[in-house]
Amino acid sequence: MTDKKTYAETFDRNAVTWRTGTRTNGGGNCVEVTDRVATRLAADPSKTIRLAVAGRSDLPGTVLITLASDDDRNVREAVATNPRAPRETLLRLVSDPHRHVRWAVAHNPACDEHVQRAICASPDEDLRYQLIYRKDLAPDVAAALASDSSVNVRGEFAMETIDPAALATLSTDSVAKVRAGAAMNTRTTAEQRRVLAGDPSALVRSALVRTVTLEEEDLQRLVRDRSVEVRWWMAAALLTPPHIRDVLREDPDPSVRQQAEDPSY
């Protein structure tokens, strides 16, 4: 016959993973677990139990600190995604030996400016890349990404950033791939687009004509661009005005003329 202590421990372990369909605490947890129980279960020999604990939204920070040092990568990743994870825990996980744990930190809602700065200082290029899609970047973090050593990071950030200062920096980057990213950002100013329309790289000008609306002066310059690639992309772009498309139907290059007749692709 099961004694009371064994029964209680079994109940506590089951409470973590039961799915009753009822939310008792406003989060994603179905059964309330006390801090005492959570602390004990964080050291449970079963990684399935520890993983279930790490994913709960009602844990005290002390339990998450313990689980952040778990031997199992999946448990640490669950901590890295948990919005209740303390800042100090996330800062430590930025240097976790497993990439998926590190990357999870960048998507945690609790990834504040302190954690963002730590990520920017990380040698892991893919981790820094994960920050690009956050819309709550601190200004100095945006500036750091705009000057990142990786062309891939700067190029993608140029397309995605909502920070005006960062976009201004990226639109004049020394690498054409990065400027092309800025050319595809719909938040560029009319003046920035004018400068990009005269960019020496056809890659940049092609990115510009197929992505954003341009002033008439820029359209007239680009419809007669020296690069067939630029004119072809202008013919392919659905946002190209009809009167510009009429000019492209008379283009010297047959591929441009054909594309101007049928811009769908």
Q: What is the percent of the chain with per-residue pLDDT over 70, rounded to a whole number?
A: 87
Per-residue confidence (pLDDT) for residue 37, from 0 to 100: 86
Quote the tokens at residue 40: 């004990």
Phi-psi region of 21 (alpha: psi -120 to 50; beta: other; left: phi over 0): left
Distance of CA 264 to the CA centre of its chain: 30
* pTM of structure: 0.84
Quote the tokens at residue 61: 């920070």
- The CA distance from 4 to 2, in Å, is 7
Q: Residue holding tokens 């604990």?
A: 53
Domain residue spans of the chain: 12-136
Identity at 234, one-letter amino acid code: M
pLDDT digits (tens, 9 = 90+) for 72-95: 999 999 999 999 999 999 999 999
- The CA distance from 118 to 132, in Å, is 14
- According to DSSP, residue 135 is labeled S
Per-residue confidence (pLDDT) for residue 23, from 0 to 100: 34
Kindly calculate the radius of gyration of the chain based on its CA atoms and give it in whole angstroms: 26
Per-residue confidence (pLDDT) for residue 265, from 0 to 100: 54
Per-residue confidence (pLDDT) for residue 150, from 0 to 100: 98
Single out the residue of 201, 176, 172 nearest to residue 189, CA to CA: 172
Identity at 89, one-letter amino acid code: T
pLDDT digits (tens, 9 = 90+) for 65-77: 999 999 999 999 9
SS3 of residue 233 by DSSP: helix
Asked if residue 85 lies in contact with residue 79, where contact means CB atoms within 8 angstroms, the answer is yes
CATH, domain range 12-136: 1.25.10.10
